[in-house]
Amino acid sequence: MDQAESSPSPGQPEPEQPEPGRPTRPARPAPRPGGRAEHEVPALRLEHPVVAGYDGSASSRNALAYAAGLARRLARPLLIVYVCSSGVYCEPLTGQVVGVPRDADALERWLLAELDQVTGHAEIDVHVRTRRGSPARELAAAAEEFSADALVIGAPTHFWHRIAGSVSGWLARHARCPVIVVP
């Protein structure tokens, strides 16, 4: 038996057999009509995806295209993460707290349309997640939650990011996976 092949420890299941009482699932979701894979799964279990942070900017579109290519080359799923603000603000004249709900389905359709534009309908396993809060912290949390192989984001374009700090700078210091910043 060579080193790549190992026998399971006593009491452990064989590698090809699922644990008793645990449902089996295919390594990749079955493609839907039209060639695209299933995009939203309530209990998402991804194995080392490539995470792409997306905000709609030109550099994040470039990052999305790079992340899709990287996911295809590594044979990994692509997880697109869109982080929006809390959506709550205070109306200045009355002081009333106002929340702006976003249509999750419309947001997912927009993100998938953006992906299709930059990749030309590439055949990759794609999942979309939206989060609320700090973009840097939420992207790092998503990458850690799914044990990402890489986190791909667009380079900052605003001058004040060079002074006050940027999402990419924070992620380079705090993320637990490789961070790729695409111009």
Q: How confident is the model at residue 137 (pLDDT cuts 50, 70, 90)?
A: very high
CATH code of 115's domain: 3.40.50.620
- At residue 20, the 3 state secondary structure works out as coil
Q: Would residue 10 count as lying in a domain?
A: no
Q: Would residue 95 count as lying in a domain?
A: yes
Q: Give pTM, 2 decimals.
A: 0.68
Average pLDDT over the chain, rounded to whole? 75
- Find the mean pLDDT for residues 95-104: 64
pLDDT digits (tens, 9 = 90+) for 12-41: 444 444 444 433 333 334 333 343 344 444
Q: Would residue 2 count as lying in a domain?
A: no
Does the pLDDT of residue 169 top 80, yes or no? Answer: yes
Higher pLDDT, 104 or 125: 125
Domain of 178, in residue numbers: 50-182
Distance CA 140, CA 138 (A): 5
Task: Look at the chain and report how many structural domains it folds into.
Answer: 1
- Nearest residue to 55 (alpha-carbon basis) of 177, 168, 175, 179: 168
Q: Would residue 57 count as lying in a domain?
A: yes
Q: Would residue 17 count as lying in a domain?
A: no
pLDDT digits (tens, 9 = 90+) for 51-71: 999 998 999 999 999 999 999
Does the pLDDT of residue 80 top 90, yes or no? Answer: yes
Q: Would residue 40 count as lying in a domain?
A: no
What pLDDT was estimated at residue 166? 85
Residue 46 in tokens: 């991804």
Does the pLDDT of residue 108 top 60, yes or no? Answer: yes
Q: Residue 62 — φ and ψ, nearest 5°?
A: -65, -40
What pLDDT was estimated at residue 90? 59
Residue 167 in tokens: 């999402």
- At residue 117, the 3 state secondary structure works out as helix
Q: Would residue 88 count as lying in a domain?
A: yes
Does the pLDDT of residue 104 top 60, yes or no? Answer: yes
Q: Would residue 126 count as lying in a domain?
A: yes
